[in-house]
Amino acid sequence: MEQIDERFSATVDATGLACPMPVLRARRKLDEIAEGELLLVIASDPASMHDMPAFCSMAGHTLLMARVEEGQYHYEIRKGKDAA
Protein backbone atom coordinates (compact mmCIF):
# COMPACT_ATOMS: atom_id res chain seq x y z
CA MET A 1 0.00 0.00 0.00
CA GLU A 2 1.14 3.53 -0.73
CA GLN A 3 2.31 5.85 2.04
CA ILE A 4 -0.68 7.40 3.77
CA ASP A 5 -1.12 11.16 4.13
CA GLU A 6 0.17 12.48 7.47
CA ARG A 7 -3.10 14.35 8.06
CA PHE A 8 -4.63 11.11 9.31
CA SER A 9 -4.26 9.99 12.91
CA ALA A 10 -5.19 6.44 11.93
CA THR A 11 -6.02 4.24 8.97
CA VAL A 12 -8.37 1.28 8.69
CA ASP A 13 -7.71 -1.14 5.84
CA ALA A 14 -10.99 -3.02 5.44
CA THR A 15 -10.28 -4.37 1.97
CA GLY A 16 -11.67 -7.84 1.48
CA LEU A 17 -14.22 -7.39 4.27
CA ALA A 18 -17.96 -7.44 3.60
CA CYS A 19 -20.67 -5.36 5.22
CA PRO A 20 -20.86 -4.50 8.09
CA MET A 21 -17.17 -5.03 8.88
CA PRO A 22 -15.77 -1.81 7.30
CA VAL A 23 -18.15 0.27 9.46
CA LEU A 24 -17.44 -1.78 12.58
CA ARG A 25 -13.69 -1.44 12.10
CA ALA A 26 -14.07 2.31 11.52
CA ARG A 27 -16.15 2.67 14.68
CA ARG A 28 -13.57 0.78 16.74
CA LYS A 29 -10.72 2.93 15.43
CA LEU A 30 -12.69 6.17 15.94
CA ASP A 31 -13.08 5.17 19.59
CA GLU A 32 -9.28 5.22 19.86
CA ILE A 33 -8.62 8.68 18.42
CA ALA A 34 -9.36 12.14 19.79
CA GLU A 35 -12.15 14.49 18.77
CA GLY A 36 -11.32 16.35 15.57
CA GLU A 37 -8.71 13.87 14.40
CA LEU A 38 -8.93 12.32 10.95
CA LEU A 39 -9.41 8.67 10.06
CA LEU A 40 -8.85 7.16 6.62
CA VAL A 41 -10.90 4.05 5.84
CA ILE A 42 -10.13 1.95 2.77
CA ALA A 43 -12.73 -0.64 1.79
CA SER A 44 -13.47 -2.88 -1.17
CA ASP A 45 -17.15 -3.59 -0.47
CA PRO A 46 -19.41 -1.48 -2.74
CA ALA A 47 -22.06 -1.45 0.03
CA SER A 48 -19.73 0.78 2.04
CA MET A 49 -20.70 3.67 -0.27
CA HIS A 50 -24.10 3.63 1.43
CA ASP A 51 -23.09 2.35 4.86
CA MET A 52 -20.20 4.70 5.71
CA PRO A 53 -22.10 7.99 5.15
CA ALA A 54 -25.07 6.65 7.13
CA PHE A 55 -22.81 5.56 9.98
CA CYS A 56 -21.03 8.93 10.13
CA SER A 57 -24.32 10.81 10.16
CA MET A 58 -25.84 8.66 12.91
CA ALA A 59 -22.68 8.59 15.05
CA GLY A 60 -21.92 12.32 14.90
CA HIS A 61 -18.79 12.13 12.73
CA THR A 62 -18.12 14.17 9.60
CA LEU A 63 -17.51 12.38 6.33
CA LEU A 64 -15.15 14.81 4.64
CA MET A 65 -14.64 12.86 1.43
CA ALA A 66 -15.65 9.60 -0.20
CA ARG A 67 -13.98 8.56 -3.43
CA VAL A 68 -13.22 5.50 -5.53
CA GLU A 69 -9.55 4.99 -6.23
CA GLU A 70 -8.27 1.98 -8.19
CA GLY A 71 -11.34 -0.09 -7.32
CA GLN A 72 -11.18 0.75 -3.62
CA TYR A 73 -13.42 3.06 -1.62
CA HIS A 74 -11.62 5.72 0.43
CA TYR A 75 -13.36 7.61 3.24
CA GLU A 76 -11.94 10.58 5.12
CA ILE A 77 -13.71 10.93 8.46
CA ARG A 78 -13.32 13.60 11.16
CA LYS A 79 -14.22 12.32 14.62
CA GLY A 80 -17.14 14.25 16.03
CA LYS A 81 -17.35 16.00 19.37
CA ASP A 82 -20.36 14.15 20.72
CA ALA A 83 -19.36 10.80 19.26
CA ALA A 84 -18.82 8.05 21.77
The model carries a pTM of 0.90
CATH, residue 57: 3.30.110.40
Backbone angles phi, psi at 61, to 5 degrees: -100, 165
Instruction: Give the domain range for residue 14.
Output: 8-78
For the segment 15-40, what is each residue's pLDDT rounded down to a tens digit? 999 999 999 999 999 999 999 999 99
61 found inside a domain: yes
Q: Which of 19, 21, 47, 59 is catalytic?
A: 19
Question: What DSSP string describes 20-73?
Answer: THHHHHHHHHHHHS-TT-EEEEEE--TTHHHHHHHHHHHHT-EEEEEEEETTEE
Query: How distant is the alpha carbon of residue 29 from its chain centre?
Result: 9
31 found inside a domain: yes
63 found inside a domain: yes
38 found inside a domain: yes
Task: Give pLDDT, residue 1.
Answer: 43
Task: Give pLDDT, residue 81.
Answer: 86
Mean pLDDT of the chain: 92
Residue 19 annotated among the catalytic residues of the structure: yes
47 found inside a domain: yes
For the segment 46-61, what is each residue's pLDDT rounded down to a tens digit? 999 999 999 999 999 9
Task: Give pLDDT, residue 23.
Answer: 97
1 found inside a domain: no
84 found inside a domain: no
Count of domains forming the chain: 1
Task: Give pLDDT, residue 5.
Answer: 79
